[in-house]
Amino acid sequence: VDLHVPLEGPGDPDTRVARIYQALRQAVVDGRLTAGDRVPATRDLARQLEVARGTVTTAYDRLTAEGFLEARPGSGTYVADVSLSGVTPARQARRGAVRPLPLWDPVPVPITPRDRRLHDLSIGLPDPDLFPLEVWRRLVSAQLRRSRLEEATYGGRGSFRLQREVARFLGLSRSVVCAPEDVVVTAGAQQAIDLVCRVLVAPRAAVAMEDPGYFAVRRLFETHRATLCGVPVDDEGLVVDALPPDAQVVYVTPSHQFPTGVQLSMRRRVALLRWAREHDAVIVEDDYDSEYRYARQPVEPLQSLDRDGRVIYVGTFSKSLLPALRAGFLVPPRSLLPALREAKQVTSWEGDLTTQGALAEFLAEGHHAAHVRRATRVYRARRDLVLDGLTGLGDVLRVVPSVAGLHVAARFVDEDVDDRAVVRRAAQRGVRVEALSDHHRNQPARPGLAIGFAGIEADTVPDAMSRLRTAVTDSLA
């Protein structure tokens, strides 16, 4: 065995013994030396390390006494079976002897990093190239002043500036009625909904959500041990009549349903609010990407129709800025506010105050509004080109009408089409899109494609769409 024993630097004989002892012991514990390996003879190691033989012998004696080595007279010194001595080699220990609850058996996250070699039309990501990096850098750096460290403490009011700016932004651009005190700043929509679960969802409580729906929130509800019920989605959005009567929480994406893109019709909004009142349920409205609007009339949130105090409005900066900022918020009815605030404190205190401070200034100085305006222009152009590209497939794929967001969806007229096979074929042609069936859980899948337009340059959209058309026609041939 070629042993690495770091003996550099000054050292008396005791230090040398200790180093030899450590090096060998660590090698055994790490599993680099395993039971039955022969270690160098004391004479050889002493020569190699240029130390007295007695130094090596002392180290070996100690290792033998502790059960790491065993001397076999006439044969040499070997690594002992340390598992018998109660010491487990680290490699085995790293594997671990303990297991999480079955609930936490990993579920693969269906997100693949953007692939720049393909025309990547996967959904859910804004274009990072549009992010106003210079402004952001300046604002973050302004947060990192010594004087601000006063606020960098537990239970500070550091989030308040952002609450004020979010309330102003919501009032102006979403007609969500709220005061700064009504806003709870979170690490994205995901944490917002996690807090809602903590406060409202008891184990086995019935939770209803759209099916097809948003996988990350579905998984979140599962980990809170909710009894999930998928509710179908049609051309008017969530089918309110199909809600299970015992649902205590209904999670919806009314402005731009994930993943079909359909907007919840006014009739259904009224029906959903009435249903919630009659069943004493709470509605979680996830308004994740409706800052990008393509229709003349505004996309009004459910929250602003709620006369009963049952809607929790959830928003995020993941689409208008970047998912990695982990910045979002919720606006609950006041009856839930103290519990939600405490749930947030218990799990993450104030969150990241540097990002929150920078974001507050970003909103206050008007950069957010300007960025959304500019990005909407860019995305609208890309979206129009994607929709143009789909017109050639009008007899096989029906575009789902939508008015907001960063993706569109289209359903196959023939409900027997294998949309996953189409997606595979598209990938062979260099285009990545998503199959609607992949977002279904229980409801029978209505096949279709979800097509993100945020991450692709306008001038490459026509080529991408022409390849996609070929893939679709070939698959259906």
Ligand X SMILES: Cc1ncc(COP(=O)(O)O)c(C=O)c1O
Interface residues toward ligand X, by CB under 6 A: 124, 188-190, 214, 253, 258, 286, 288, 316, 318, 323, 328
**16 vs 344, beta carbon nearer ligand X:** 344
Which residues does 246 contact at the CB level (< 8 Å), separation at least 6?
A: 206, 279
**58 vs 318, beta carbon nearer ligand X:** 318
Shortest Cβ 368–ligand X spacing (Å): 15
| Terminal-to-terminal C-alpha distance of the chain | 64
What is the signed CA dihedral for 104, 107, 110, 114, rounded to 10 degrees? Answer: 60
294 phi and psi angles, rounded to 5 deg:
-120, 0
**214 vs 453, beta carbon nearer ligand X:** 214
CA distance 55 to 33: 21
* Distance, C-alpha 448 to centroid of its chain: 24
* Distance, C-alpha 305 to centroid of its chain: 30
Residue (of 461, 417, 413, 452) closest to 127 by Cα position: 452
CA distance 56 to 46: 6
- The tally of CA atoms less than 13 A away on the side-chain side of residue 409 is 30
**46 vs 400, beta carbon nearer ligand X:** 400
Shortest Cβ 222–ligand X spacing (Å): 16
What amino acid is encoded at 53 in this protein?
Answer: R
* Distance, C-alpha 397 to centroid of its chain: 30
Shortest Cβ 194–ligand X spacing (Å): 9
CA distance 46 to 58: 11
**40 vs 328, beta carbon nearer ligand X:** 328
- Total number of residues shown for the chain: 477
Burial 76-95 (b: 16+ CB within 10 A, else e): ebbbbebeeeebebeeeeee
**328 vs 447, beta carbon nearer ligand X:** 328
Residue with tokens 């109660």: 86
CA 381-299-372 angle, to 5 degrees, is 45
Shortest Cβ 177–ligand X spacing (Å): 22
CA 156-161-163 angle, to 5 degrees, is 95
450 phi and psi angles, rounded to 5 deg:
-110, 130
**188 vs 389, beta carbon nearer ligand X:** 188
**376 vs 466, beta carbon nearer ligand X:** 376
Shortest Cβ 272–ligand X spacing (Å): 17
Which residues does 379 contact at the CB level (< 8 Å), separation at least 6?
A: 127, 292, 406, 453, 454
**213 vs 357, beta carbon nearer ligand X:** 213
CA distance 420 to 427: 11
CA distance 374 to 134: 16
Shortest Cβ 183–ligand X spacing (Å): 15
CB contact at 8 A, 255 and 224: no
CA distance 33 to 148: 52
Which residues does 306 contact at the CB level (< 8 Å), separation at least 6?
A: 273, 283
**80 vs 322, beta carbon nearer ligand X:** 322
Shortest Cβ 285–ligand X spacing (Å): 11
**132 vs 323, beta carbon nearer ligand X:** 323
